[in-house]
Structures are given as C-alpha cells and as structure tokens.
Amino acid sequence: MSVGTFLGIMALMFVLELPDKTMIATIVMSTRARPSSIALGASAGFIVQMGLAVAAGGLLTLLPLRIKDAVVAALFLGGAAYLFFSSEKEEEEEGEREAARETHSTRLREVTTAFTVIFVGEFGDLTQIQAANLSAKTHEPLGVFFASSLAMIIVAIIGAYGGKLLQRYVPLGKIRLAGGVIFLGLGVYTLVQLFTA
C-alpha cells in the first residue's frame, strides 16, 4: 500500500468517526473518568472492531468482482445517505446515553468501561462498514487495518482530551457533510468503474 493510500484511508476514517455516537460517548466518558483511561480503553475497542471489519472485508473479496463492486458501491452510497440524512442530534443523544450508563471507578474499571462502550457501539457502525469496504476494494487488509486503527486511536485521544474544544471550532454538521460528500464520490466512482469495465 502506498503512503498516499494509507494516509487517505486514515483521513477518511478520521473524518467519519468525528461526528459518530462513539466519539460522543468518548467525550462524555472523559468528563467522568481519567482521560488517559478513556483513551486507552476506547483505542483498544476501536482496534478490535477494525480487525473484525477488515476480516469481513476479506470475505467480500471472495465474491465475483462485479458483485463485490456492486456491494461496495451500495455500501458507499448507503453511508453517504446516512451522513446526509441522519440527525446529528440523535447521534449525540445516543452517545450520551451509552456513556451515562457507566459511573466513576478504578482505573481498570474505567479502561474496561471505555473498551466495552466503544466495542459495543461500533458494531455495524459506519466506520466499521467503511473499513470492510476499503479492505475489499484495496485487497490490502493489513494496510487498511493499520490506517483505520491509527485514525480511530487519534479520534479516541481527541475525544478523551479535547472533544469539547474541537466541537467549539468544527461543528458536527460540517464534519458529517464532508464525510457524506466523500462517501458519495466514492460510491459514484465505484459505480462508474462497475459499468465501464
């Protein structure tokens, strides 16, 4: 995998995760526990989920090329629709509810809580689906895994240490719009390749 592709995947996953409910949950958990514990637990949860996503993407590569491309295009376009039409207020409320279920405790409990909230919250999430798509599209699961995991770790650290500050300068609506435009572009590009090949 080229450095440009690696950085592109990392940037895409970073942008997609910022307005997500798990990012909100990380921010909320960090108001109730040590940010270092939350960053560690959330990062571990994201890494495990990216591993599962890349494995699922590997299964997609077993499909015939045209069917795989059609599935990937549909997932990209579905992701774009999700970002354009879902309510960021609902995402915030869901993230706050997930984090509110947990309370202050020891460091190990804080790390475990953060891991569990992120691990459960990421199942079927947009970034997990995107990691599976990219793994199938690039046929480079390790590169996708490392790029996606690194992006998720950065998001976890930002959420744990500076989430409130970030939201003051970059509204979630703009972040969601940017992610939606990227997904739409990737979906259209994949469809064009599918029908012109």
- In this prediction, residue 79 carries a pLDDT of 62
**What is the average pLDDT value for the chain, to the nearest integer?**
77
Q: Rounded to two decimals, what is the model's pTM?
A: 0.65
Residue whose pair of structure tokens reads 């798990």 in the numeric block: 22
Which of the four pLDDT bands, split at 50, 70 and 90, describes residue 104? very low
Distance CA 89, CA 66 (A): 37
Q: What percent of the chain has pLDDT over 90?
A: 16
What mean pLDDT do residues 69-88 have? 68
pLDDT top residue among 172 and 139: 139
How many domains does the chain contain in total? 1
Q: Which domain holds residue 120?
A: 3-196
* Residue 8, token pair as written in the block: 């592109």
Any idea what DSSP says for residue 58? H
Distance CA 186, CA 179 (A): 11
- In this prediction, residue 31 carries a pLDDT of 67
Residue whose pair of structure tokens reads 């949950």 in the numeric block: 25
Tell me: pLDDT of 111 over 80: yes
